[in-house]
Chains A and B, each alone.
Chain A
């Protein structure tokens, strides 16, 4: 240990540090400046960037002792006297902040860069930001912010005025998130930023075998190690859990056997993380490895005398779920179709790659259990904790802090959450865990690896006749959302095209790998890729423009799909038309030189699942409003803002209905004690469902005010209007401020609380499985991609992407653009570079260096279009925008590769070596023709 002096943000500190302690640890844990984030522990993500002696440094890989006596600026020191720095203001204004976890590092990097290069080109900005990973924004708005910052800093002239909400109303006005200024200053607290008094730290002993019986666990030596407070093993937590009632198959700590390499077999709680980690090495576990099942094929087949992964599966194999639905007659359809195509596709597993690793703190007191956790689903976590801790629901409180992205990856109750709750109870102390990036990858719950055989038939006039999909998905060791995923792989293919003969069968298998679950575009991304690729192929075969062919087949608004989905608003035709026009499709597709191509594709997604996961008669979302003498409307909602902007959305809706400015609202969200139930952030449901609940609540509050004012002033209720913080009658005989109105409402009554709710209408057919994919509304999207393919190396480079998404109504266009650009960026990752590679069940690329999320340099210009169709049931016409857009991006790129070089991609990501091999095979096939 050594003593060092650091001047951080102008304040002098003296610290006692370990000789090999990193600077990030000193800044976060000792100075308490938690704006500096830890995302990867290897300098690959940039979230930990701080300035040391005016030079940017990655503090997570910088020894603290290197900089004894240094002056350090962290994100907290960038704004001065409560005024944001111009760059911070630009980040806020341009919508560069979503989850905000990468923001501190981005800001520090960009400040230094522009200081040294005051007049940068866009390429130079991208180059400079390439070491800072953002998973939410697709970098577009970050680059815009840096570019404008540089220009304004240089010229002294504001390029754009900061957009203020227009006086009349809040809906449709582009605006930053309400918490953006907090995030940009590094003062928004994420789960790992909570450090409770006397907290214990947990580390896990993780299994070494893909499938192994646990013979014995000896914790004695570890327990004797000084500073160790508790060691939990599996049999202490015998109650299984899972997000779906159908798949309660997971143990918090493996009891009798491990089902994947890395499964938790013991949890050590100690005074420090370092002690806990050291003690983990002292826990002795004996295993008896048994046959592991690592591939889809192995798990589909009869396994003979080997032991199944779960003994609950029906047959002597590891099939977890078979989902099948059929409409019309696929066999006849295939017979009748003039052009038929049968193709196999293979997609590898994908991880969410959110920048904030999981972290959780739990404690017990007279109120039972309180947990602060990085979760998208406070409600389901609440239920899972009550179940596994065996306490009534009334003894559990789950609080969601700011969340550094989720994309589905924080959408289940997790083992680590249950374990810290348990140890907190056993020790009587607060207990905290934060996962390393490697552990985040082990936790996974990402997109399922998928193999599929699809048959598609059409007539020569381009009309689709039949679609039949046989899909197998690799679920990993546990169920997660897998039953839903199994259905979504099939059912979500029944739109956006009319299909009379449509069927699918999906088998989800258990394998001895980390479990898969829901990820942005849940279940439908991989099969969508296949179908859109095949439509492109058929269009080529029948010599029809692929856009023209799609246009012929689109479902109309206000129609039913073959599986009885009710399509209401539908902007698919507008979406494809816009991207076609912007990309100059008519003059480009099929007309570029060898190696240069354009591709198109479409997508479709649910706007919230019409059926809840846990069947009960609770509304899917409830929002409470409280209004007191101060005139501020307190909005409480269980909806989880994970960076997608749902808190802001709630405030927009309430302020719109009540005609008040946004600063007269205040949002408290996702605290299960204080906020009413919302099912959480999954299935792209929050804007539609929580938004409708907020609208309902605001309308109820307005009704109360109208009644109070009309009674007091003797004016007809119908004559009262709410706008611009005033309440007035038609003839303006009454024209009072909002605050005056509030006074009338609370007089002789006090604070008023009202509630609003959303319950999905009854939808769909009455056959088994009819509920899968049912949604009160659906989103539609289209993308065009432009690529260049290097025929010497097989390397594919995306030059441009154009995207359009029908979100019904953009309540906050800036947020909608951000969601779309993030979706398309994530799609680019899956189609180009991302993959979870396993070796004997061990994930090989379990870090941000080897798991290849596209950097700013790998992200092409993204051209964003919002299509508005005003959904009849969405709040102010809005529907989902967080997930659906991703679907079209992947096949658009692959179809562009086909246009460029004539090879059909059936396996993702698009690897240069596969492209080169396919080019050679194509050349070989073509040669005899040339000779003849």
Chain B
């Protein structure tokens, strides 16, 4: 039988979590859905119940105070630029959001959805028939990673463009779950395991993304892709420096999680970059080769530093 499917639209966070508990055997939260639905068409997302959270008004606001700005998880990527605080204090976030996907997709895709974007791989983001023909990889319950031939680890790429910039500026997540609301560092939710790339509980929802104002982060980023629109990243680098000289380097698109290197402006920049390159577990699962992406980490990070230190 074709399974009976359900679609739910909670009005608030509490209702969303309650619905999640009630459907805990097979559900998925849906924000913009621009990635989740495509994964669903391809048979990579099999949840019978979709809990569409896009009507939760409390998650659509941007609130600023002197010490932080809170960005609602459902703020659409295209709407970030409309907020003056973000435009004045975090222009790199607005700029990187503009580099995500296409203009039409940015009108639906949300910032919360983008930081939770499922990892991707040339051999995983395929139709069910294709994956059967290739022999199912580790990420879809197979026994072999097609990209590496290995049996242990999945290296599906972390592809959010906004997350590297957010992490580089010390972003926190405000998470709501069954047991209440808590704040965690954005980078802490990423596991580095390509199969299960996030450690969030299934019922957890991002309420807000919180950026600190006090540090006065200045950021620069670069994105590698063949076309100037539409494409997922093959490499996103972000560098932020705060007023105290703290440096946070984040590299996406080259590892199952964002690679984070911290230091200060007193450190040798090249050493920091070397650390980032060393930490990135790049495999051939992208339109660009492993070697090229690795080489470009250094080039792009240098460009980011040049932009910030000029």
Contact = CB atoms under 8 A, between A and B. Distances in A.
Given A792-B299, A833-B227, A855-B229, A131 B33 contact: no
Nearest to B54: A66
Interface string A415-440: 00000000000000000000010100
A109 B303 CA distance: 34
Nearest to A133: B230
Interface stretch (A166-174, A399-407, A452-460, A842-850): A842-850
B158 interface: no
- For A61, A793, A837, A839, which residue has the most chain B Cβ atoms within 10 angstroms? A61
A46 B292 contact: no
Interface stretch (B130-138, B191-199, B203-211, B271-279): B130-138
A379 to B, nearest CB: 33
B130 A846 contact: yes
Interface stretch (A37-45, A89-97, A520-528): A37-45
A849 B5 contact: no
16 contacts: A19-B50, A43-B34, A43-B104, A57-B107, A61-B34, A61-B37, A131-B105, A132-B104, A793-B296, A837-B287, A840-B134, A854-B227, A857-B227, A858-B227, A858-B228, A913-B291
A66 B52 contact: yes
Contact of A839 (B37, B123, B287): B123
Contacts of A844: 122-123, 126
Contacts of B68: none
B84 interface: no
A159 interface: no
A740 interface: no
Interface in A816-870: 832-833, 837, 839-840, 842, 844-846, 849-850, 852, 854-858
Across the A-B interface, give the 6 residue pairs with the lowest CB-CB distance, nearest first: A131-B102, A130-B229, A913-B292, A857-B228, A131-B104, A19-B7
A793 B33 CA distance: 34
Contacts of A833: 226-227
Given A43-B105, A913-B289, A130 B230 contact: yes
A63 B7 contact: yes
A63 B232 contact: no
- For A41, A42, A839, which residue has the most chain B Cβ atoms within 10 angstroms? A42
Contact of A61 (B33, B52, B126, B228): B33
B231 A127 contact: no
Nearest to A794: B292
Contact of B52 (A2, A22, A63, A856): A63
A62 interface: yes
B108 A20 contact: no
B175 interface: no
B33 A46 contact: no
A79 B153 CA distance: 55
B292 A912 contact: yes
Given A66-B9, A855-B102, A857-B228, 18 more contacts: A19-B50, A20-B50, A41-B38, A43-B104, A58-B105, A61-B33, A61-B38, A61-B108, A63-B7, A63-B50, A65-B9, A113-B103, A131-B102, A208-B133, A438-B127, A839-B146, A842-B133, A857-B229
A44 B130 CA distance: 19
Given A19-B5, A127-B103, A842 B292 contact: no
B160 to A, nearest CB: 16
Nearest to A131: B102
Contacts of A849: 230-232
A56 interface: yes
Interface string A246-266: 000000000000000110000
A839 B134 contact: yes
A781 B101 CA distance: 36
Interface string B7-50: 10100000000000000000000100110011011000000001
A278 B127 CA distance: 14
Contacts of A53: none
A18 B127 CA distance: 22
A41 B231 contact: no
A5 to B, nearest CB: 15
A32 B221 CA distance: 46
A58 B76 CA distance: 14
B153 to A, nearest CB: 19
Contacts of A66: 9, 52, 54
A128 interface: yes
A913 B288 CA distance: 8
A879 interface: no
B2 interface: yes
Contacts of B232: 849
Interface in B92-148: 101-105, 107-108, 122-123, 126-127, 129-130, 132-134, 146
Interface string A876-899: 000000000000000000000000
A73 B108 CA distance: 17
Contacts of A49: 104
A854 B228 CA distance: 9
Interface residues of A, number: 61
B291 to A, nearest CB: 7
B302 to A, nearest CB: 9
Interface string B43-66: 000000010101000000000000
A466 B292 CA distance: 39
Contact of A62 (B9, B40, B108, B289): B108
Contact of B40 (A20, A130, A132): A20
A916 interface: yes
Contact of B299 (A20, A127, A793, A911): A793
Interface of A: 2, 18-20, 22, 41-44, 46, 49, 55-58, 61-63, 65-66, 109, 113, 127-132, 206, 208-209, 261-262, 274-275, 278, 436, 438, 792-793, 832-833, 837, 839-840, 842, 844-846, 849-850, 852, 854-858, 911-913, 916
B6 interface: yes
Contacts of B231: 849, 852
A49 B129 CA distance: 28
A177 to B, nearest CB: 26
A55 B78 CA distance: 12
Interface string B200-226: 000000000000000000000000001
A20 B104 contact: no
Interface in B276-307: 287-289, 291-292, 295-296, 299, 303
Given A849-B231, A852-B227, A46 B102 contact: yes
B5 A18 contact: yes
B122 A63 contact: no
A856 B229 CA distance: 9
A57 B108 contact: yes
A43 B109 CA distance: 11
Contact of A850 (B287, B291, B303): B287
B54 A842 contact: no
Nearest to B6: A19
B103 A128 contact: yes
Contacts of A41: 38, 41
Given A56-B107, A130-B102, A833-B227, A20 B38 contact: no
B143 to A, nearest CB: 16
Nearest to B295: A916
B7 A2 contact: yes
Nearest to A914: B292
B138 to A, nearest CB: 16
Nearest to B296: A793
B9 to A, nearest CB: 7
Contacts of B133: 208-209, 261-262, 842
A828 to B, nearest CB: 11
Nearest to A17: B7
A130 B228 contact: yes
Contacts of B41: 41-42
A609 B2 CA distance: 51
A57 B292 CA distance: 36
- For B123, B127, B134, B226, which residue has the most chain A Cβ atoms within 10 angstroms? B226
B130 A855 contact: no
